[in-house]
Amino acid sequence: MIDSNLHQTPLFSALDEEAASALKQSMVPQTIKKGQTLFQEGDPGDRLYVVTEGKIKLSHASGDGRESLLMVLGPGDMFGELSLFDPGPRTATASAVTDSKVLGLGNTDLNPWLAGRPEVSKALLKALAHRLRRTNETMSDLVFADVPGRVAKALLELGEKFGTKTSDGLYVHHDLTQEELAQLVGASRETVNKALADFATRGWVKLETRSVEILDVERLSKRAR
């Protein structure tokens, strides 16, 4: 039996239980402690990963050492496939936001699945297409949306991934520091904090350390548009 998060992963989504279990058998489990780096941007890579527990952040450093967060991943999310399909250096650094577990799949173990099960290739292509759409949207937001709009969108996205419903709204334990939230939004910590404080004053969110409760999803969604 593989767990439900894995079934949602593109790699497994197209496979029946038996095939999914066989694929999982060929994957190598790895534990990454909070703050540890799995791989660095620029490293050579021939292995993709699926998160099974915890949170992994993908970050990108600018020439002058500033960091931006591309995405925060949770159980069921896949990463590291770019340098597997297009051999070359890793395009981002992957490190653990919380104690995490991943399953790694090397090139040689993936190839028979790609050749023998077209549905696996199709699901992976779909995941890549989805990522490109999201990247285009992020680029467009960086150009056209203001910082509060981007903060609202980031909170909603984190909510979709890590949120749990409460009687008041959506509780999102994102585990990110203020600095990391700012890196995710692509703005300074001060500007992001100002936007968060404004949302809190309006009663749209309740702020806590490394978490937020979204009290008014509708207003926040409108602000994110």
**Residues lying near ligand CMP in the complex (CB under 6 A):** 45, 58, 70-71, 79-83, 90-92, 131, 135
Of 159, 161, 160, give the one whose Cα is nearest residue 206. Answer: 159
C-beta closer to ligand CMP: residue 140 or 166: 140
Please, what is the minimum distance in Å from the beta carbon of residue 172 to ligand CMP?
A: 19
Please, what is the minimum distance in Å from the beta carbon of residue 165 to ligand CMP?
A: 26
C-beta closer to ligand CMP: residue 10 or 80: 80
Q: How far is CA 119 from CA 12, 76, 102, 124, 174, in A?
A: 10, 18, 23, 9, 33
Whether the CB-CB separation of 153 and 224 falls below 8 Å is answered with: yes
Please, what is the minimum distance in Å from the beta carbon of residue 83 to ligand CMP?
A: 3
Distance in angstroms (rounded) separating the CA atoms of residues 32 and 184: 21
Please, what is the minimum distance in Å from the beta carbon of residue 140 to ligand CMP?
A: 13
Element (H, E) at 106: strand 100-106
Supply the Cα-derived Rg of the chain in whole angstroms.
Answer: 18
Distance in angstroms (rounded) separating the CA atoms of residues 114 and 98: 32
Element (H, E) at 127: helix 118-144
C-beta closer to ligand CMP: residue 93 or 148: 93
C-beta closer to ligand CMP: residue 39 or 204: 39
Please, what is the minimum distance in Å from the beta carbon of residue 113 to ligand CMP?
A: 18
C-beta closer to ligand CMP: residue 92 or 196: 92
User: What is the token pair recorded at 98?
Assistant: 């919380």
| Number of residues assigned to the chain | 225
